[in-house]
Amino acid sequence: MELHFEKKLADNYKNAAQQARVLTEHWVDSVVFCPNCGHLDIDQYPNNQPVADFFCSNCSEDYELKSKRGGIGAKVVDGAYRTMLERLQSAHNPNLFLLSYDWQSLAVLNFLVIPKHFFVPEIIEQRKPLAPTARRAGWVGCNIILESIPQTGKIFFVKNQQVEPKDKVLATWQKTLFLREEKEATAKGWLLDTMRCVERLGKREFTLSDLYAFVGELQKLHPENKHIKDKIRQQLQILRDKGYLDFVARGSYQLM
């Protein structure tokens, strides 16, 4: 996978933002494969498509691209807050491509995809309304909180300028597709919170007692639930049934 942009493509643009858009979009269009089906040709939608930037002609997955100089950071700036919340309920909500690059060398630093099934209202942060003096006074944007997304939902094609194997990208994508079966946001939120807690343990094998350390935190996230330990056990059962976890022994699990 070539990690450098074709500089000559931006020669007709004087604005740095326009140059970056042309270069990054061309790079994705030229070298990125579809993480859902492995198809080698990701196609670009015509400009000003309301939701997505790219699509796979083989499996019809849609992708939105967000690019940034330097590191990706903890948050990604997105569009209107209300529109984003409405998109989360839509079947046409796209997957998210994130690309960070070095402007001096015109090289890709990191490139990853966050599947759309990891997007729930809890990871969307409302920004302050624009000031009364602004051209779009009162407009309210949003941020995507990346740290609220489990690591398994951040699928790298390129990490620290190192290209990840294609089969690893495809396998990681397939591992969490079961989340698309859950249409109710609260139920999906519980699964994602449990997955994130398991990851934070930092070990492949763990016990039910290990996860009980997060009871207080989960209670704050879900104050309406008065039986947090029961809920944890239920979520582990679902994750086991979906092949995300394996049952080792009574009260013991391991990541697949």
Q: What's the CA gap between 224 and 216, in Å, rounded?
A: 13
Q: Round the average pLDDT of the chain to a whole number and report it.
A: 93
Give the burial class of 245: count Cβ atoms within 10 A of its Cβ; 0-12 exposed, 13-18 middle, 19 or more buried: buried
Burial 155-179 (b: 16+ CB within 10 A, else e): bbbbeeeebbeeeebbebbebbebb
Cβ 182 vs Cβ 191: under 8 Å: yes
Q: What's the CA gap between 41 and 31, in Å, rounded?
A: 8
Please report the pLDDT score of residue 47 as a whole number.
Answer: 74
The owner of tokens 């074709």 is 6
Please report the pLDDT score of residue 23 as a whole number.
Answer: 95
Interval 84-99 mean pLDDT: 88
Architecture of domain 1-174: 3-Layer(aba) Sandwich (3.40)
Give tens-digit pLDDT for 212-234: 999 999 999 999 999 999 999 99
Give tens-digit pLDDT for 154-180: 999 999 999 999 999 999 999 999 999
* Banded model confidence at residue 93, pLDDT cuts 50, 70, 90: confident
Which residues make Cβ contacts (< 8 Å) with residue 112, sequence separation at least 6?
72, 97, 98, 154, 155, 156, 157, 158, 159
Where do the domains of the chain lie?
1-174, 182-256
Cβ 100 vs Cβ 71: under 8 Å: yes
Q: State pTM to two decimals.
A: 0.92
* Banded model confidence at residue 142, pLDDT cuts 50, 70, 90: very high
* Banded model confidence at residue 12, pLDDT cuts 50, 70, 90: confident
CATH of domain 182-256: 1.10.10.10
Give tens-digit pLDDT for 30-57: 999 999 999 998 999 987 666 789 999 9
Please report the pLDDT score of residue 41 as a whole number.
Answer: 83
Q: What's the CA gap between 20 and 221, in Å, rounded?
A: 39
CA atoms within 13 Å, Cβ hemisphere of 195: 27
Structure tokens at 201: 């343990």
Radius of gyration over alpha carbons of the chain, in Å? 20
Measured in degrees and rounded to the nearest 5, phi and psi for residue 97 equal -90, 130
